[in-house]
Amino acid sequence: MDGDAWNGMSSEYDDNVEGNFDPVISGYLSEEIKITSNLCKKIIRPDVRSTIIDMGSGTGRVLFALRSILGTSISYFGLDVSQSMIQLSKNKQSDMKDRDISFLNYDATNPAIDELFDDDSIKITMCMYNTVGVIDVTKRQQFFDNMIRLAGKNGLVLISAFNGDNFSFIAPKMYVPMKKMIKQIDDDSFDEGKLAFKNKLGYYSQWFTKNQLLDLLHSNVTPIPIDVSLNKRVHTFGHIFSNRSVL
């Protein structure tokens, strides 16, 4: 999906993700931020400048949450290909009187992305909430390579992705509560063979097995489960992947 497609969905994104009170969605987001912030704390040092870069930042949910947890001594950047998403981020930022996060309308698959961050800070690059699944397949490896290169040997790459190893169970639980945003769920929307959700309006999101994502990250680090309680049972709805161990 390109930036124009997301422009048409941006006005409903907050309500269907950040503002969604379905226990699966809210539980996932809560665990995602908790795990992500704890990993960031292991990288950030008080004596060295640190930069957090959310690649595919949507309307700013992750960065606003991390700033409230990690504080203002860090540089925060949100990149998104959708101009509408970035504008909504800036509107929220203005309402919060929060000026220390930079939101940029930028294609994070651009191999010249280094030009945006030409400094010696420790960089944590991240991509949350299965955003990797909507990146054009022809640009996907470039996106991962950009993340790894920006982080360098002292930084960290973090990916949050839905659990493709249990697609048939997890996918309906994730997408039905987001129907207002994706508009419709067709009879063939849950494609278990291709590990993808799609509909006839053009919404498409790829899911991945753990091994597929580890290959894209060139990583052998065991991912951290994002567990959500559903009907008094705990299920792994996703994972946080990293390119190196910091535990």
The whole-number average pLDDT for the span 137-157 is 97
Is there a domain that residue 247 lies in? no
Least Cα distance to 52 among 149, 140, 133, 117 occurs for: 117
pLDDT digits (tens, 9 = 90+) for 186-234: 999 999 999 999 999 999 999 999 999 999 999 999 999 999 999 999 9
Could you tell me what percent of the chain has a pLDDT over 70?
94
Q: Look at 95 and 140; give whichever has higher pLDDT.
A: 140
Least Cα distance to 107 among 207, 6, 10 occurs for: 6
Is there a domain that residue 237 lies in? yes
Is there a domain that residue 143 lies in? yes
Q: Look at 72 and 25; give whichever has higher pLDDT.
A: 25
Is residue 3's pLDDT more than 60? no
Is there a domain that residue 87 lies in? yes
Domains: count for the chain: 1
Residue 51 sits at φ, ψ, to 5 deg, of -130, 130
State the pTM of this model. 0.94
- Where residue 5 falls among pLDDT bands split at 50, 70, 90? low
Is there a domain that residue 162 lies in? yes
Is there a domain that residue 179 lies in? yes
- Residue 1 has what pLDDT? 45
Question: What CATH number does the domain containing 11 carry?
Answer: 3.40.50.150
Query: Residue 69: how many CB atoms within 10 A of its CB?
Result: 13
Burial of 97: CB neighbours in 10 Å, binned 0-12, 13-18, 19+: exposed
Rounded Cα distance, 109 and 118, in Å: 17
Residue span of the structural domain in which 231 resides? 3-242
pLDDT digits (tens, 9 = 90+) for 26-65: 999 999 999 999 999 999 998 999 999 999 999 999 999 9
Is residue 100's pLDDT more than 90? no
Cβ–Cβ < 8 Å for 119, 106: no
